Chains A and B, each alone.
Chain A
């Protein structure tokens, strides 16, 4: 009874807070946009341009932060001995529960941890990101996206292993983990406690901003546009759409009404399956064109015609979108994977490396092949992002626009839920694990849902992208400093698998 009344009162409080904001947003119209844009533009503009500081290569601007992520992924690929190719069989065995002790059944399984982390990354990046890469860099960008995705697997492996190794277990049995914990604890072990603490705090602050921006406002904004364009509803009333979405998000993260989240968590994989399934049908129907499409992609990757910047330009577009889509090296997934209960942190690294594979290599390649095979990229005339993907699918299945709109809405919602958790973990890392501090974060999060949906805030979205990438500054530095210890653990683990010390149960 008591719990119920807390739920009701916190929802009431939420509505009370949201009403004036949405009313204000409605009345002020574009006025509020301009004010917020101005504030963000002047105060945070320098930060954004610092994070996205670009050099111009062959006439194409290349943000250094993308290079920072890609170089890390390549270094880790070599350093870990191409774990993404040699370790895949072991990953799948772990997912199947071959190494799970039946007496521990009922704890979070490897499959569940992977599915949860995936629901945070699969989404607009896969649907819109590929289209952006192809429309700007030509079909060849797909090739470089796949290469970057494959390298990203090694980065995911390293960060998720560290996430489990240094997570915090609380007396009541719940766990918190992620870069803020492994940066502070892991670097303290190496005798650098001060550096570790600074990097951890830096990461946590950026992650909180990222959770408000890329993990929240950007998602709401895109979902609103998609719904408004497809169904012609909420076109002028973004604030109402935002308010409804905020109440649903709030009822899950504040009210603890897990059933809504549960329903979404079940529909999202279904939607992803439907998306991949439809892509497969289109590819099978055009089976004879696949070799040609692959030739087009490979040709485009190495000798592109009529694309600004030549090979380098194509390469940059591909790398950029891969980094956006799978978040390898950013550190977000390490937070989700830390919840698994295992005595072997390496096992979680093995499972996590499948994430960029599913996200970037499988789903993005499907999208790219459909765009190339249907020829949608050739007559893209100003279409970019989701619209290009939609037109490619619709050229075969006219009804697909509706499915895509619903999928985008659900992907956005599940990404919001995931990022609210990432942000919350960083918030409690900074401000302590108390009910009050948790509630205040969750309320602020819901407010940002409304803001994200009701206004077109270019600079805010720029800032949110910048914040997500800024997370990687601290995280990648930590990965370099701690990759030695991960490698030592990996050797030890592999020898215990070989000797049979780690038992198979199936």
Chain B
């Protein structure tokens, strides 16, 4: 049975709806919910020495901001639900990181919003959602 449901969030209205859908599914299946926020980051970029030196500090700041701006407000708004809900923040490529987190938590379902990409951006880089669908071994639900 799916006892852990992973929801990928990005602070948009779309991901808000994904969380609501995740909550409904979790109640139906008596599962726990993990909300994951991924900070876009690549280990293969080229940096100046100064950036490398400050990287650890920046990383901590980025994680804190993600908690404060996106994750905590969402967790607070869900506090009234009678569910076990936890949150996590991770650096990486969105699709890869979500699959990784899903595997770590033994998730039976990944729920995402449409992750608001349109037009040229998704033409060039491919949409995160379609990459997720191509790579995942865990069932994915995309909430419109």
Binding site for B on A (CB under 8 A): 97, 100, 102-103, 105-113, 115-116, 119-120, 172-176, 252-253, 258, 261-262, 265-266, 268-269, 335-336, 339-341, 417-418, 421-422
Contacts and interface: CB of A to CB of B under 8 A. Distances in A.
B47 A105 contact: no
B56 to A, nearest CB: 5
B91 A105 contact: yes
A107 B72 CA distance: 23
Most buried by A among B44, B45, B47, B90: B47
Given A116-B47, A261-B51, 9 more contacts: A102-B90, A102-B92, A102-B100, A105-B43, A105-B91, A108-B52, A109-B44, A116-B48, A339-B52
Given A105-B97, A109-B43, A174 B56 contact: yes
B118 interface: no
B48 A417 contact: yes
A341 B45 contact: no
B56 A341 contact: yes
A253 B43 CA distance: 23
Contacts of A100: 43
23 contacts: A102-B100, A106-B63, A107-B55, A111-B44, A112-B43, A112-B44, A112-B47, A116-B47, A120-B49, A174-B53, A253-B50, A258-B48, A258-B50, A261-B50, A262-B47, A262-B48, A265-B46, A265-B48, A336-B49, A339-B49, A339-B53, A418-B49, A421-B49
Nearest to A418: B49
A119 B49 CA distance: 10
Contacts of B97: 102, 105
Nearest to B92: A105
Nearest to B55: A108
Given A106-B39, A107-B59, A173-B56, A266 B49 contact: no
B102 to A, nearest CB: 12
Interface in B24-75: 39, 41, 43-57, 59-60, 62-63
A345 to B, nearest CB: 16
Interface in B76-96: 90-92
B143 to A, nearest CB: 26
A261 B49 CA distance: 10
Nearest to B60: A173
A358 to B, nearest CB: 14
A252 B48 CA distance: 10
Contacts of B53: 174-176, 339, 421
Contact of B54 (A106, A115, A174): A174
Interface of B: 39, 41, 43-57, 59-60, 62-63, 90-92, 97, 100, 104
Contact of A105 (B48, B49, B50, B90): B90
A172 B59 CA distance: 12
A336 B44 CA distance: 16
Contact of B91 (A97, A106, A340, A422): A106
A266 B92 contact: no
A113 B39 CA distance: 20
A315 to B, nearest CB: 34
A265 B54 contact: no
Contacts of B92: 102, 105-106
Contacts of B41: 105-106
Contacts of A253: 50
B62 A106 contact: yes
Closest 8 CB pairs of A and B: A106-B91, A109-B43, A339-B52, A421-B49, A173-B57, A265-B46, A105-B91, A106-B59
Contact of A115 (B39, B47, B62): B47
Nearest to B91: A106
A261 B43 CA distance: 18
A258 B92 CA distance: 21
A163 to B, nearest CB: 12
A229 B100 CA distance: 54
B55 A341 contact: yes
A124 B108 CA distance: 55
B46 A119 contact: yes
Contact of B52 (A112, A252, A269): A112
A112 B91 CA distance: 15
B94 to A, nearest CB: 12
Contacts of B100: 102
A108 B90 contact: no
A265 B104 CA distance: 35
A327 to B, nearest CB: 15
Contacts of B91: 105-106
Nearest to A414: B48
A422 B48 CA distance: 12
A174 B54 CA distance: 5
A101 to B, nearest CB: 11
A390 B61 CA distance: 47
B58 to A, nearest CB: 9
Most buried by A among B53, B54, B57, B97: B53
Contacts of A120: 49
Contacts of A110: 43
A200 to B, nearest CB: 19
Contacts of B60: 173
A265 B47 contact: yes
Contacts of A175: 53, 56
A74 B63 CA distance: 46
Contacts of A258: 48, 50-51
